[in-house]
Amino acid sequence: MPLSDEQRARTIARFEEHRRAWDENPALRTLYAEWYGRIAAALPPAAVGPRVEIGSGPGFARQFIADLELTDLARAPWHDREVSAEALPYSDASLGAIVLFDVLHHLPSPRRFFAEAVRVLRPGARLVMCEPYVSPVSYPVYKLFHEEPLSLRVDPLADQTGTDARDPFDSNQAIPTLLFGRARAAFESAFPTLAIRDVEYFAGLSYPASGGFSRRPILPMRLWSALHGLEARLPAAVLRRTAFRILVTIERT
What is the reported pLDDT for 163?
47
CA of residue 73 relative to chain centroid, distance: 15
CA distance 247 to 253: 19
- The CATH number for 246's domain is 3.40.50.150
CA distance 49 to 41: 16
pTM flag (> 0.85): yes
Q: Is the Cβ–Cβ distance between 206 and 198 less than 8 Å?
A: no
What is the reported pLDDT for 165?
52
What is the reported pLDDT for 169?
83
Q: Is the Cα dihedral 212, 7, 134, 189 positive or negative?
A: negative
What residue numbers bound the domain in which 157 lies? 5-252
- 71: β partners: 81
DSSP-derived letter for residue 198 is E
CA distance 144 to 2: 32
Please tell me the total count of domains within the chain.
1
Q: What is the Cα gyration radius of the chain?
A: 17
CA distance 239 to 222: 22
List the chain pLDDT tens, one digit each, 253 residues.
Answer: 688 999 999 999 999 999 999 999 999 999 999 999 999 999 999 999 999 999 999 999 999 999 999 999 999 999 999 999 999 999 999 999 999 999 999 999 999 999 999 999 999 999 999 999 999 999 999 999 999 999 999 999 987 655 445 678 899 999 999 999 999 999 999 999 999 999 999 999 999 999 999 889 999 999 999 999 999 999 999 999 999 999 999 999 9
Q: Is the Cβ–Cβ distance between 198 and 42 less than 8 Å?
A: yes
CA of residue 70 relative to chain centroid, distance: 14
Please give the single-letter amino acid code of residue 225.
S
Whole-Å CA distances, 91 to 3, 54, 117, 119, 208: 23, 15, 11, 8, 40
